[in-house]
Amino acid sequence: MRRVLFLLLGCFALAGCGQKATFVLLPDPDGTVGEIMVTSGQNSHTLNQAHQAVSIKGDPGQPGKLTTMPESQIRALFGKAIAVQPLPPAKFLLYFEFDSVRPNSAATAQLELVLQAVTERTSRDISINGHTDRTGPVEYNDQLALQRANEVKMMLVQRGIDPASISTTSHGMHNPLIPTASNVAEPRNRRVEVIVR
């Protein structure tokens, strides 16, 4: 995900001024920084560091000098836009016992964090994706993964989450967290991923 702030200022041509567009690259919530290219006419700038900024003046405008915008200026210009941004999706992993729909003992704590994320976001969009390790037949693992996803859904519904806001899928053995050869019992692949948006 790239977070870019964009500000367009303009006035009527009769007043003798043109438009000015400002672009600022923000770090993602996890601290990583993407990259964008701002092009106008034959000129362009690549922004790839946190708080880098460039303005374009006029129509067609020339990109101005690449700068680093101070946090205080970002807040002054874009504070209202930043304040209304939704929280990023939260992702949780709940692990399961071998060949079972029973979550392991650590899953209870994770479930509480899922509930907290749903409340913080007032979420109506929860994805639950079931997975297995690579032991056993494909068809069996597809079913087991779906049963695991439905088990977590039931646990959330029992705690007051609207079932209409939850979708479940099965990935079976097809998207392992830890790649293994066939018939390897890898506990970290026996999981349910919950994404709260």
Q: What tokens were used for 45?
A: 């700038």
Q: What is the mean pLDDT of residues 174-196?
A: 97
Q: What tokens were used for 180?
A: 């293994």
Residue bearing the bigger pLDDT, 186 or 32? 186
Q: Is 36 exposed, middle or buried (0-12, 13-18, 19+ CB in 10 A)?
A: middle
Which domains are present in the chain? 3-83 (no CATH), 90-196 (3.30.1330.60)
- The per-residue pLDDT of the chain, averaged, comes to 89
Residue bearing the bigger pLDDT, 13 or 6? 6
CA triple 169-86-194, angle to 5 deg: 25
- The predicted structure's pLDDT at residue 56: 84
Sign, Cα dihedral of 38, 44, 49, 50: negative
Q: pLDDT tens, 62-105? A: 778 899 999 999 999 888 988 888 888 999 999 999 999 999 99
Cα distance between residue 96 and residue 103, in whole Å: 4
